[in-house]
Each structure stands twice: as C-alpha cells, then as structure tokens.
Amino acid sequence: MSRGNKYAQRSGGGIFEPNMTPLIDVSLVLVVILMVATPLAFQSSIAVRNAAAGAKKAAALARTDRIEISIHADGTVGVNRMVVPREALAVTMKPLVAQSATGMVVVRCDDGVSHGQFVGVLDEVKSLGAVQIAVVGS
C-alpha cells in the first residue's frame, strides 16, 4: 500500500511522477520573451509641444529658425508657404532641417485630414531630424 504513495521515498521507492515545475517555468519564461518581443502590443509615441507657452514660444521664433508645415485635406503639404505633394515632403524638408538652427517644426493641420495622415507627416518630420514639433490649431 505504501509503495503506491506519493511520499514513498522513505520506504525506498522513487518519485514516479514527472516533475512539472521546470516545464511550467520554461513555458512562462517563453511567454515573457514573446510579450517583450511583440512590438505590436507595445505602443510608441511622438512628443509634441502643445502647451500654450511652448507653442507660443515656437511661433515667436524668427522665420529662419522654424519650419512651418501645413497639412491640407487635398493631400498636399505646405512647407513654409510652398505647397508640395505629400510624397515630396522629405525632399523639400531635408535641406530646411539641415539649415535650421533650432530644429523646430510648427505643424498645422486641416480638419479633413485623418489622424493617420497627420501622424505620418509627424513621423517623417521627426525621422528627418526635427528636434521639436509644435502643433498649432488651424
């Protein structure tokens, strides 16, 4: 009777059940690795200057120190009052960002534009080397 007991070591018998703890342990570690490695579950963000003081400060900078971008609902983008197609934004912006001393970009956006397009422009501006982005209500 005692040989079938779980605690049969004392009577000379071995542990016959598989040890589940290492299995569970390794599985949980794999879960953690998957969670960390999945970038879809984790959001990123683009910082914008939105506070009244910050935006005013940005707008008060000299025209040569800031780059003004306006995103239009018809798919075009205005860079310093020069209207270019959306695809040409990077080409137009690159020399301007390089010349800018502050790297400040002021973005205005029309109401008809979708949030995705707005963020697409912010992302492109940021990847071109803009230091700060200020969003101004149009």
Which residue ranges make up the site for other proteins (CB under 8 A)? 9-10, 21-22, 24-25, 28-29, 31-32, 35-36, 39-52, 54, 71, 109-120, 122-123, 126-127, 135, 137-138
* Structure token digits, residue 121: 């422009």
CB nearer to other proteins: give 63 or 115: 115
CB of 80 to other proteins, least distance (A): 21
CB nearer to other proteins: give 64 or 123: 123
CB of 64 to other proteins, least distance (A): 25
CB of 71 to other proteins, least distance (A): 8
Place of tokens 């690795």: 33
Pairing of the two strands 76-79 and 132-136: unpaired
Q: What is the dihedral of CA 123, 125, 131, 132, to 10 degrees?
A: -80
CB nearer to other proteins: give 18 or 116: 116
CB nearer to other proteins: give 27 or 63: 27
Residue 87 sits at φ, ψ, to 5 deg, of -70, -25
Q: What is the DSSP string of 69-112?
A: EEE-TTSEEEETTEEEEGGGHHHHHHHHHHH-SS-EEEEEE-TT
CB of 103 to other proteins, least distance (A): 14
